[in-house]
Chains A and B, each alone.
Chain A
């Protein structure tokens, strides 16, 4: 199980290394939110531009984690489309090793992408000490793993690289807007405060914001528990799909259960 996970992780990290140019390009989106959207929206908010930028910084890190983790999962779709994934499916390893190897690889890539946003914190007016850094990194790791699990669970169900990005965007943006990344949930309408309880991004943003600014919307213990439960559920969903092997993907095959 461990060796299988390690092999999958190593494979994906080697391939990600070939695409390392993505790291630089991946910085564009968070910086755009932080300095353009942040300046524009902040100027007209009650907080003022400086405070607003500080406020959204953890949300922007979460954005970076969310998009890079789900983007990493696209290799699964690509591998299924060209047939490479079959070579992985015929390996004598538990399907959980495949799922969690993929989740780990996506989380690691996202984590790295998120970490390179952190040096911009002072520019956003945030200064933090060692303890806060450790808390933040821990929260980021947990968040990256959750988002990667989400990406893998969704990607496992698609075998077209043209459909998956459309679907994932349709899922990601609502999750991001519901998360309180760009505005305080405490002032949001009642229905949003209810809905955000189902949103992993909300817990992740809140944990990171708590680490940096000391203000929490959820109880941090609730956030950690919620994220861990979501990782487990999403991982399990991916395992279920991988268990069906090829019966799930080609020929428009109907869902087939491994009976007996």
Chain B
């Protein structure tokens, strides 16, 4: 029963993907080439850029930027968030400002970064970092806020020292929340990556999109967008996996 049921569940999905592909292909014949390119041409353009090595080079450049920015955001955000989780005075002092920065649309800062730091690699990393770091901080603080004081009191009552308190209470308790933050950071960092590649020095997948639109190469443009879509889906799944992996002891959901 199991395999048959699974098979019948997959049929509508396959049909929907095929229908989508057909709509994509046919849409091109009802519009001009400047608007839309058929799927076959888009995939052809993707294969062509893969063959010539452009795709590999641009994708690597994008990954390098994205991973550097995200890694810095995690390395800075998680420990600082944990510190704020433990030191209540610091947290009360700074949480509203972090919340404010969390709500700030970071794209708005790109022109400042451009005119202060110019066109190198560092300003682009800064953009990805700024996009990614505040969700981590914000969620870690949210987690810290929900640590029940009894837990810490019990730990104190059993004469835990600071190290044990961190290892056995603080980190296990706030980690799931930090993971929610990291999931958001993974998604926001991707937005930051594309924004940085558009508005600072063009590079990577962002440059591929830009070049497609400037050369009226709609197939190339769609191919690059398709890559970003696939990347976005994979990263979102990764984020969800990480969050679930660390969620079991979170106590809700």
- Do chains A and B stick together as partners? no
